[in-house]
Amino acid sequence: MTLDELEIKCRECTKCGLCEGRTNLVFGEGKKDADIMLIGEGPGENEDLQGRPFVGRSGQLLDKFLASVDLSREKNVYIANMVKCRPPKNRDPKPEEQDVCINWLREQFKIIRPKIIICVGRISAQRLIDKDFRVTKEHGVFYERNGVLMMGTYHPAAILRNPNNKELAFADWLAVRDKINELGIII
Ligand code: URA
């Protein structure tokens, strides 16, 4: 199956209650065989309206971080979320919603086959790296999970709330760049 075929199937999904509130499902976007995959939390209001990940204020900041290390969704990364439909009032996605939606993410992963996964924020880091993951303590650290390198970093929304963390987050993106170079990944 191609990513486009998977997306068509996914758009019909009604496997959890989040489907009831969605304007658009946010499947993900970016390079279809990217070596770098980003996984956020879930769509917010703008994402729900546009059907695209990280297009609000957080997304603009994320794009800036990416651009600062020569990465972008147009060129070399793929961006998705733990859940594909907006949780009401932007609450955290519930574990049972993630349990259902992660199957779509797994299928995306199998097609894209990234070498590095960046968990953007606590929700995806706790689900994909370690259930006790603490962003303040473990951001920027690479872990290997089933042959894939994974790292968790600050969610841009957290940086907008507390700009003091901007330098720390920037250092994480520089570490991604170093890891890309170290592995000899051509992007
Ligand atoms: N926050 C996320 O985690 N994902 C989005 O797509 C937008 C905001």
Closest approach atom of ligand 1 to CA 79: 6
The reported pLDDT for the residue numbered 187 is 84
What residue type is assigned to position 7 of the chain? E
pLDDT score for 184? 96
Res 119 pLDDT > 90 = yes
State yes or no: pLDDT of 101 exceeds 90: yes
Q: What is the mean pLDDT of the chain?
A: 98
CB 176 within 8 A of CB 116: yes
Q: Which residues line ligand 1 (CB under 6 A)?
A: 40-44, 47, 53-54, 58-59, 81, 121
| Whole-number pLDDT of residue 78 | 98
By most ligand atoms within 8 Å of CB, the mutation choice from 45, 49, 54 for ligand 1 is: 54
